[in-house]
Amino acid sequence: MKKLFVGGLSFKTTEQGLADAFAKAGNVLSAIIITDRLTHRSKGFGFVEMENEADAEKAIAMYNNKELDGRTVVVNEARPLEKRF
């Protein structure tokens, strides 16, 4: 399992649309778009979990600096969550 960060998402991109797009690169385990707690509006980024390293690399190659729903997105390996104090 490999988690990818996807930034620069269009506000009209849905979690299902994100999953469907990345499914072209391989098996998607989950797709989550991060939303604002109060407005529930997309913050313009999300995460996609791919089943394996090969699918993740293929997804990065397919979508990094490419257009998705009218916006150029950035796709790379997600970094671990850093502790906030």
Q: Is 28 inside any structural domain?
A: yes
| Three-state DSSP state, 76 | strand
Q: Which domain holds residue 64?
A: 2-77
pLDDT tens for the 85 residues of the chain, in order: 999 999 999 999 999 999 999 999 999 999 999 999 999 999 999 999 999 999 999 999 999 999 999 999 999 999 887 776 6
* Burial per residue of 39-78, b for 16 or more beta-carbon CB atoms within 10 angstroms, e otherwise: eeebebebebbbeeeebbbbbbeebeeeebeeeebebeee
Q: What confidence score (pLDDT) does residue 80 get?
A: 84
Domain membership of residue 13 (yes or no) is: yes
- Whole-angstrom distance between the N-terminal and C-terminal Cα of the chain? 29
Our count of domains for the chain comes to 1
Residue at 82 is within a domain = no
| CATH number for position 15 | 3.30.70.330
- Whether residue 84 is contained in a domain is answered as no
